[in-house]
Every structure is written in C-alpha cells, then in structure tokens.
Amino acid sequence: MSSGTPREPNATPGESRARPTVSLRVPGERGHLFYFRKMVVKPDREIEPGSVVDILDRTGTFVGVGFYNPRSEIAIRLLSNSRDDDADFLPRRLRAAIEFRQQTLKLPDVTTAYRLCHAEGDGLTGLIVDRYGPVVVAELFSRGWFKQLDAVKSALAALVPDATVHVVTDDLASRFEGFTLPRTAPPVPVVVTEHGAQFRINFATGHKTGFFCDQRDNRRTVASLAKGHAMLDLCCYTGGFAIHAALAGAARVTAVDLDEKALETARQNAKLNRVKIDFLHADIFNYLKQHKEKAELVVLDPAKLARTREDLPNARRSYRDMNALAMRAITPGGILVSCSCSGLVGEAEFIDILRDAARIDGRELRIFQVTGAGPDHPVSTLFPEGRYLKAVFSIVV
C-alpha cells in the first residue's frame, strides 16, 4: 500500500488507482487493528462499504490502510501501517502464512488439517483459512474480503494448487457487516489425519470451517492422560478428544453432544479409528444431573457462549454452572480439562469462573497447565483478542 498515487474507492491493496481517505477522531497510535464507528469522522462523500481506504488520524497524520465499513460497529479494520502498493500484497501475506505452517511448524508431518491463515495473527484481519487435505476453506468476517472474494480465491488457488477452494462466512459477522455470500454446494466429505487419528470432515453439517484445528495439541495432551482411565467428553462435537483418548487406551469413553449431525460424524470417526465410544445425544446439563457415573478424566469444550458483550452475563453463569456439574462427575484426584473459546472471556476471568464453580461443588482445583490454540493460530500484539481459546487442565480434589 505505497505512497503517492491516488486510487479508486474499491481498489485492492495492490492496485495503484484512487483510494479514498477516512479520518479518525482519535490519535492514530491506538495500538489496535480495529477502529470503531464512534472513533471515525464521517467522510464528506459516500464510500462503498468494504472499500480499501487510507486512514489519517485527527492531526492529519497517515496511520495506515484498511477496510472501511460505515455500516459496521468496527468501521475500520487496519491492514497495513504503510502505503504498500505491492500488487502481490494478498498473495505475499498468504504465502508467508502458509510457509510458516509448512516450513517452520512442519505441520504436514503430523496432520493434514491445520490453519493456513489466522486473520489478524497473519496480517489479514477478518480472513481465516483452514486446510483439510484436498480442501481449503476460507471464512470471511468482513465485507472488505467479500469485495475481494475473487482475489482471495485466485490467491489460494495459486498457492495451494492441489486443493479445492471453498468459501463460507460467519452468520453473525455477515449480518453485522452487511453482506450475503452466494450459496454454493459444499465439497464432498474428506478424511484427514491428526497425530495418527483419522477424522471425517463433513462440510455440509460441520460448524465453522468444518473442524476445530485449534484443539489439536490439547487433544494430544488429553490422550497422554487417558490410558487406563474412564473418560467423559462433554460437548464432544465430532469426537476429537474422545477418539484420541480411546486410541491412547482409555478404559471407557463416553461422549455427549446435543448436535445429532455432529454425533453421526463422531460415530463415523469412531469406526474409522476402530475404537469403542459410547455416544449420547443429550443436553450436558440434563445428562450431568441425571447420570451419577464417575470418570477420572472429563473434558468440557462447549461452543462459544459469548459472541457479543450482551451475552457475557449469561455466558459467565453457564460456564460456572456447567463446570460445577462436570466436577461432580469426576472422581477425587481426577482431571478436568475445561475449555472456553469465547474471546470476550479472558483467561484470568475464566479461571475465576472455574474457582467459583469449584466452590459451588465444594471442590478444589489444582491447575497444572493452561494452554490455548495451537501455533498455527498466532496472535498479534495489535489484536490480543486473537488469543480466544483457553484450556485449563486441573486436578479436582
């Protein structure tokens, strides 16, 4: 995004045509990639939502280049702090992200399912890309990338030529950002491998991009704790934790979820891996209240409970109550692995919630490990919210 040449309102970062300017009401050194609507001066001419713009602070000093969407609460998403006119902008950043996973992390040595681009963590705010063997799924969180959809597809097709590109969007984000992705047929299901386990990815029924690559390392850690123990996987989705535990020699594995389609895929995954798991279709609150069986290892990994700040009070109560119930299902000295993927609930707050849950159940937690997403989910210091996943490993006494 370079200096000098004016550009058109909808020009991509690498195009040398007229680009509009948007000014801030606040200093430019905010130390964050987002500028909210109240921080932005309304432009004196109409700018198409999702356009790439130059950003000036309240003194007229150049701040950077980003997507502008006056319809969104997040009015500006910063892409670069320089006027970089390189026509290779998007492919270059995607290439760097992919090379980091493949050459530095060497993820293809252990899995065929991993994140290729983690949005803000890879300098492409609002764009997530996951690879599942022969399929690459891009998930759009901003109208800006919707406008650049052809460029995204083209770059991914060139960088990952042995994969089919499929595009999805987050429903809440598309509503807030004001765009609708045309419906396309999902790819046929594929089977991926992860640390020796196999998982079927059903793109028609799966959540998000189809699978949760972020828990890869945590699944391996759970497997290392499971041998010879009874294991309970709550909110099991397609059986990731349960299958790794069963493969590692767990004495008994029970997996519970309310999503019947996810459970059907989980059953297929158990067959793929030739392991025996008792899958139950149930609400975990009802299940935990009705079943008195104890386990030495319990994993609790619910879906995101707080998508907006208005959700936080209910989310905190739900996290507390479900964890209190989960602790009752654990034998003294057993292990609870409690997870939260709500970025609005920070790590310290989540641990406080677990402490309250233990107090309700008259138990004590001895935390021995706190982790997050795998290294293919890097976090920018300009977007600390990118560290959304918390996995707290505790002995319950």
| pLDDT for the residue numbered 29 | 83
Does the pLDDT at position 8 exceed 80? no
pLDDT of residue 10: 47
Q: How far apart are CA 241 and CA 238, in angstroms?
A: 9
Instruction: Establish if 184 belongs to a structural domain.
Output: no
Q: Work out the average pLDDT over 73-101.
A: 90
Strands 21-23 and 164-169: unpaired
Domain range for 31 is: 1-87
Specify the amino acid at residue 135: V
Q: Are residues 146 and 272 both part of a single domain?
A: no
pLDDT above 80 (res 6)? no
Q: Are residues 55 and 103 part of one domain?
A: no
User: 300, 316, 383, 304: which is closest to 349 by C-alpha?
Assistant: 316
> Is it the case that residue 15 has pLDDT exceeding 80?
no
Q: Looking at the 3D structure of the chain, how many domains does it have?
A: 3
| Together in a domain, 349 and 261 | yes
Residues in the chain: 397
Average pLDDT over residues 232-255: 98
Mean pLDDT, all residues of the chain: 93
Q: Are residues 129 and 105 in the same domain?
A: yes
What pLDDT, in 10s, does the model give residues 135-166? 999 999 999 999 999 999 999 999 999 999 99
- 225: confidence class by pLDDT, cuts 50, 70, 90: very high
For residue 247, how many other CB atoms are within 10 A of its CB? 18
Residue 17: pLDDT band (50, 70, 90) is: low
Order of strands, edge to edge, in the sheet holding 330-340? Answer: 278-281, 252-257, 230-234, 295-300, 330-340, 390-396, 365-371
pLDDT of amino acid 84: 64
Find the mean pLDDT for residues 63-75: 95
pLDDT score of 28:
78
222 and 168 housed in the same domain: no
Q: Which residues contact 374 (CB under 8 A, 6 or more apart)?
A: 114, 115, 213, 214, 215, 216, 217
Q: Considering the entire predicted model, what is its pTM?
A: 0.91
Tell whether 129 and 73 lie within a shared domain.
Answer: no
The per-residue pLDDT for 88 is 87
DSSP codes, 106-134: -GGGTBSEEEEEEGGGGT-TTEEEEEETT
Q: Give the C-alpha separation, 32 to 383, whole Å.
A: 6
Domain boundary (50, 71, 87) is at 87
Q: Are 48 and 108 contained in the same domain?
A: no
Alpha carbons 45 and 18: distance in angstroms, whole number: 14
Indicate the burial class of 346 (C-beta count within 10 angstroms; 0-12, 13-18, 19 or more).
middle
Same domain, 251 and 386: yes
> Based on the domain organization, do 243 and 289 belong to the same domain?
yes
- Per-residue model confidence (pLDDT) at position 85: 57
Which of 193, 218, 349 lies closest to 269, judged by CA?
193
Residue % of the chain over a pLDDT of 90:
86
DSSP bridge pairs for 334: 396
pLDDT at 268: 97
CATH code at position 293: 3.40.50.150
Segment 213-221 shows an average pLDDT of 97
Residue 72 CA, chain-centre distance (Å), reads 21
CA atoms of 350 and 357, how far apart (whole Å)? 10
Compute the CA torsion angle 95, 97, 99, 102 (nearest 10 deg).
Answer: -140
pLDDT computed for residue 378 by the predictor: 98
For the segment 244-252, the average pLDDT, to the nearest whole number, is 98
> Percent of the chain beyond pLDDT 70?
95
The residue among 237 and 205 whose pLDDT is bigger is 237
Of 126, 145, 177, which residue sits at a domain end?
177
Identify the band that residue 2 occupies on the pLDDT scale cut at 50, 70 and 90.
Answer: very low
309 and 259 within one domain = yes
One domain for residues 199 and 140: no
What does the pLDDT average to over 222-243?
98
Question: Please, what sign has the CA dihedral across residues 193, 194, 200, 206?
Answer: negative
